């Protein structure tokens, strides 16, 4: 036992935080618990807050940790938490909204530019000694005039659209709700956006309504000369349908930072052409991580002090 309040870190990626937090808290690590039942009836009894690194929060934690009052997520997404279920058990949920929109949008452009201009393919060509005086790869489309369709015009979508405009790409968007304060044209539907664009950039937050929203029909509308970029959540794409179309050429390319399951198995992408794949690094910058951790810890501090938490997620 200890006088310090007890926190539970739920993902190995947060392991680096442990030492820093131990000055003020007792810190338990979920991935170090070999037996969940033993944990729930042992150290778990003391847990006041979970710091969540983006993985699914097991409902048994919400039900089985008697002193749990807060799940403080690091990151803007919180689809891994059953929020009504948590609330029903008296557990608040917070996230870190808006912190990493710039970094994630930067990665969206890095992936879009890389795929459209063939940076990765060029790098492989140079290293394989395949660059010859007569061959440096096929000519590529320009970013100028490229039709960039943005799905979801929240913080990340807006930041992505602004950056695409600096490259003189043409931007349109779709999302379920019109936004009167933006100048980019909203098309009437997702199929219309997919049909119009050269590059569909997925910037939508994941929720129950948009699981596999980007299905075979949408991908077919993007087509053999089009590409898909996803930097928010893998659940929004029907990944099997995507892979099938990349393999047979019905879809021109895909640049993905997020996947149906993460880490995505390497074998799943063997022989899938025209892909650029990154390990969910959209928010993996020093500045964003520092800011997100600070925000999550402020939510923890406020909760333990009996104050309103600053970043309760919306209903």
Residues in contact with a copy of itself by CB under 8 A are 11-13, 15, 31, 55, 102-103, 106-107, 109-111, 113-114, 117-120, 122-123, 125-129, 131-137, 139-145, 162-163, 165-168, 262-267, 269, 276-281, 284-289
Is there a catalytic annotation at residue 233?
yes
Of these residues, 46, 163, 186, 233, which one is catalytic? 233
Is there a catalytic annotation at residue 280?
yes
Min CB(254)–a copy of itself separation in Å: 12
Task: Classify residue 209 as exposed, middle or buried by CB count within 10 Å of its CB (0-12, 13-18, 19+).
Answer: exposed
Min CB(101)–a copy of itself separation in Å: 10
113 vs 192, which CB is nearer to a copy of itself? 113
178 vs 271, which CB is nearer to a copy of itself? 271
Min CB(92)–a copy of itself separation in Å: 26
117 vs 250, which CB is nearer to a copy of itself? 117
How far are the Cα atoms of 116, 135, 240 from residue 139, in angstroms, in the given order? 10, 10, 29
Of these residues, 280, 298, 301, 307, which one is catalytic? 280
Question: Which of 163, 146, 50, 145 lies closest to 106 in space, CA to CA?
Answer: 163
- CA-angle at 206, arms to 189 and 191, nearest 5°: 15
Of these residues, 262, 286, 298, 307, which one is catalytic? 262
Residue 199 near residue 112 (C-beta atoms within 8 A): yes
CA dist., res. 227 & res. 200, Å (int): 6
118 vs 252, which CB is nearer to a copy of itself? 118
Question: Which of 225, 163, 166, 235 lies closest to 194 in space, CA to CA?
Answer: 225
Phi–psi pair at 103, nearest 5 degrees: -65, -40
Q: Which residues are catalytic?
A: 233, 262, 280
């Amino acid at each position: 036992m200890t006088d310090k309040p007890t926190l539970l870190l739920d993902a190995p990626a947060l392991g680096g935080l442990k030492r820093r937090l131990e000055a003020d808290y007792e810190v338990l690590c979920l991935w170090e618990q070999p037996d969940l039942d033993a944990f729930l009836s042992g150290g778990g009894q003391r847990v006041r807050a979970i710091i969540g690194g983006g993985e699914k929060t097991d409902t048994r934690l919400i039900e089985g940790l008697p002193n749990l009052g807060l799940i403080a997520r690091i990151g803007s997404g919180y689809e891994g938490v059953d929020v009504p279920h948590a609330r029903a058990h008296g557990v608040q949920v917070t996230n870190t909204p808006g912190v990493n929109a710039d970094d994630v949008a930067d990665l969206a452009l890095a992936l879009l530019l890389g795929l459209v201009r063939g940076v990765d393919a060029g790098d492989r060509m140079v290293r394989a000694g395949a660059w010859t005086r007569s061959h440096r790869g096929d000519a590529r489309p320009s970013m100028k005039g490229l039709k960039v369709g943005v799905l979801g015009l929240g913080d990340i979508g807006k930041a992505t659209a602004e950056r695409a405009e600096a490259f003189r790409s043409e931007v349109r968007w779709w999302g379920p709700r019109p936004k009167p304060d933006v100048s980019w044209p909203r098309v009437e539907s997702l199929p219309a956006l997919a049909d119009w664009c050269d590059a569909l950039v997925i910037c939508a937050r994941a929720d129950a309504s948009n699981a596999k929203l980007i299905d075979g029909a949408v991908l077919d509308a993007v087509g053999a000369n089009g590409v898909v970029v996803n930097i928010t959540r893998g659940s929004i794409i029907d990944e099997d349908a995507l892979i099938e179309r990349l393999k047979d050429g019905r879809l021109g390319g895909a640049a993905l930072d997020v996947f149906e399951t993460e880490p995505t198995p390497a074998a799943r992408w063997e022989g899938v052409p025209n892909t650029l794949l990154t390990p969910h690094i959209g928010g993996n910058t020093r500045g964003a991580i520092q800011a997100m951790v600070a925000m999550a810890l402020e939510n923890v501090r406020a909760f333990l002090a009996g104050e309103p938490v600053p970043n309760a997620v919306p209903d």
